[in-house]
Structure formats: structure tokens, C-alpha cells
Amino acid sequence: MKRYTMTVVAAAIVLAAQPAAAAEDVERLGRDLTPLGGERAGNKDGTIPAWQDRSVLNPGWSYGKPRGDFFRFKDDKPLFVIDAANADKYADTLTEGQKALLKTFRNYKLEVYPTHRHCSAPDFVQQNTKANVGSARIGPDGWSLADATVPGIPFPQPKSGIEVLWNAKMKYAGVGLLMPTVWVMLSPRASGGDWIEAKASQAYHYPWGKKGSARLSEQAPVEYYTYFNYASPTALAGQALILTSYLNQPSETFYYFPGQRRVRRMPSYAYDAPQVGFENQYTVDEPRVFNGTPDRYDWKLVGRKEMYIGYNGFGMYDPGADRRKVISPDGVDPKAARYELHRVWVVEATVKDGVRHVAPKRRFYVDEDSWSLVGAEDYDAQGKLWKVRESFVIPVAETGACDNPAFVQYDLSSGRVLYDQASLGAGQDLKWLTEPDDPKLKESFYTADNLRTISDR
């Protein structure tokens, strides 16, 4: 993974454009803070080391080669294992969700490895992040992202929960992510039955992710576009959608139904609407830990804590793995889900007065170094812990940054396990792209007319 540094000239330009107070905050980036805003120093007892500006990927990787084979620390051994028997010993560094999973899912354990802090971004992202200090803005509605210099972290020193959320949503991942094959897996009901396993392809396009520097307010207010197409099972095969997630308004979805050979606009296919085909176990706003428009919640910044999170766990992305051995009704194979101790931002989301959602309260955990949403807990209308989600951060060779599309969701009420958004057992790897050379990385691809055209073929 390539490492970049800010030039002295570029840094001077950024500082000159900032007020005095903001200039001091800018200077902290790369000094006592990482270039993206994490605390550079380790913790007092050394279990979290200082962040290092280094690559953890050995040279020689190219697309199609196993990513984990090039991880510099692939031969690390677990330091210890956290299970239901010893969870109390580690209670301060576990979330309420993790404690519940240890008690509920037989296979859920945390194999804890040495911590490696390395997540960063290319130099233009670092420069744009500095430019955002004092200039990025939340809209007057209190939740939309009104402006920022992109691609870059909007609020590297966040003061509110909504700022942390937008940092997670706008972390650099190139201009797009292609998933040639992905399996969405849902374990059987407790009473018996079959797995739901949907084979699909998906593409994400981040129009603000182009190399260089641009003002978000001068572009279309789009967080991302996505295209999704099911190949199996029979009940879902041929169904497809195009979704636009906006920065300042609810998302827009067009859905193709092959039986009708027509595209329908689905304004209600958002928020807590159940996704088609998954027995009310998977809502539209659950992918990648949180998905879509944040306007239904008030977002409170609780603070930071040390927490064991999925990090450098390439096993959750292995296209050659047996997916049924990694994901089971009892949880994830601990050998695939490497955990490390990191600092995270904690944000609580509470549904606004006069607004409904099946999860009126949620708690989110965001890695301080990569700004990845690494965990979430959903509470039901009675205030009972209901669903727990975890994602898995890996370094990405193509972008020079870290990403975390793979995630697992545990439903404590139904006992079911869901996996989505990555290449586990798919036979083909994910593709992160930094240049808009693919047709799916053009805004013109994401229209109702194009969805009809490509679906009718």
C-alpha cells in the first residue's frame, strides 16, 4: 500500500487560508493527531501502540492474488481469546452488544491479535482533510452535509455525533467499489428451514472520490450511487435496483421486477423498510453498519473508548473460502475474524419526536484511524438490545486507505445471522477503483431508463 506525505508548500497554503484558531487545529494533523484526525499516541499501558505512517502490505500484490498473503503481519499469533467464560475480565473493552453475543451465539469468540495502527490515505486526501478544518459545514437542518473539500475527512476533530457519522460516510475509498459476485447470507430460522443465500453483483460509485481537490457544494449532492442485481435464488433472480443516496435529502430507489418487465420508483424503500427477499430480517438502512439518510435521528457524541474490533481480518473477504464454514448459525468462525484493540468514537442515535423507526435507539462505534463504522447496536421499542452489527477493516492496496464493506448482523431476538457486502466464498475479489474508467462509475449509468435497458437484455 502506497504512503504519501503532505508537501510543505501545500501545508503552508492550507494554513494561510485558515483563521488563527483553526490554523492551530490544522497543525495538529500529522503532529499529535494522525493525518485523518486520530490520536497519534498509543495508550498508557502500551496495548494500543502509536500510529505509524507505514504500509502493512508487502509489495507484489495484483488483482486476483489473495490479499491476506501480502499482509506483513499475517504470521501473528493470537494473544488470547475472549469467550463467555472470561468476558467479565475484559468487560471495559467490550460493548454491550459483544457481551450479549458471547452469551448467545456458541461460535462467537474474539481471537485477539497484536494491534497494528496504519490506516491513512493518499496525500491529496490528507491535504483536503486539513482544508476542511473550520470550513466543512453541516447544513441548517442539523444533519445534512452542506460543504467540504473532497475527497477528505470533513471533520477530523469532530464536535458532534453527526460530524462523526459524516466522517465515516465520506472516508476515502476511491471513485468506486465493484463487487462482481457477492453472497448475501441469512441463517435459517430457529425452528428449522433453509439458509437464504442470494447471489448478486453490486457496484458503488462515489462521484466525489476523484483524485485532486473539489468543493462538495459545487457538485451534485450525492453520497453514492449503487446498482444491485440478483442472479439467484429463483425468487429473486433478475431483480435489480439503482439507488442514489443523497447528502441532503432521502435516497431515491428504482427497482426492476422481471415478472412485470418494468421499473418502479420506490420512495418508501428506505430507512427501516425490509429488503425484498429476507423475511423482515434486513432493513434498507442496515448494510455496512449504517446506510442511507440520517435525518430520522438525533446524533449524540458520547466520547471515545478502547474496544476490540475486527481489524486486518482478511478471512472475512476471502473469495476462495467455504462461506458456510466461515458463517454459521452459531456465528462467525473466530479464525476468520481477527480482533485488535483500538480506540473508537461512540455515537448514540435517538429517533426524533414525531418520527418512527423500528430501532428507536442505536449506538455506533467508529474507528478513530480509518473512520470506519465498525460496530452498532439496535434497541427495540421496549429499550431491549435487539440487533448487533460488526464490520471488518482491512488495508486496501488500490486506494492507499482502509475500508470495511464486509459486515455481520446478529439478531438476538430471532437468533439469525446475516452476512453481506463482500467477497467471502464468491470466487471473485472486490475491486476498488481510483479512476472512473468503468461504465458503472459514470453518473449516467444510475438512471431509471438505464436500469430498464440493462435489465431487459
Q: What percent of the chain has pLDDT over 90?
A: 95
Predicted local confidence at residue 16, as pLDDT: 54
What pairing do the DSSP bridges indicate for beta strands 214-215 and 339-351? unpaired
- Tens of pLDDT along 396-442? 999 999 999 999 999 999 999 999 999 999 999 999 999 999 999 99
Residue 20 pLDDT greater than 70, yes or no = no
Specify the 3-state DSSP secondary structure of 68. Answer: helix
Q: What is the dihedral of CA 67, 72, 74, 76, to 10 degrees?
A: -160
- Tens of pLDDT along 356-367? 999 999 999 999
Predicted local confidence at residue 456, as pLDDT: 87
Specify the 3-state DSSP secondary structure of 248. Answer: coil
Q: How far is CA 361 from CA 58, 66, 292, 385, in A?
A: 42, 39, 16, 9
Least confident among 19-23, 49-53, 319-323, 418-422: 19-23
- Tens of pLDDT along 285-336? 999 999 999 999 999 999 999 999 999 999 999 999 999 999 999 999 999 9
Predicted local confidence at residue 3, as pLDDT: 42
pTM over 0.85: yes
- Cα–Cα dist 197/185, whole Å: 5
Task: Centre a 10 Å sphere on the Cβ of residue 160 and count the other Cβ atoms it contains.
Answer: 15
Specify the 3-state DSSP secondary structure of 250. Answer: coil
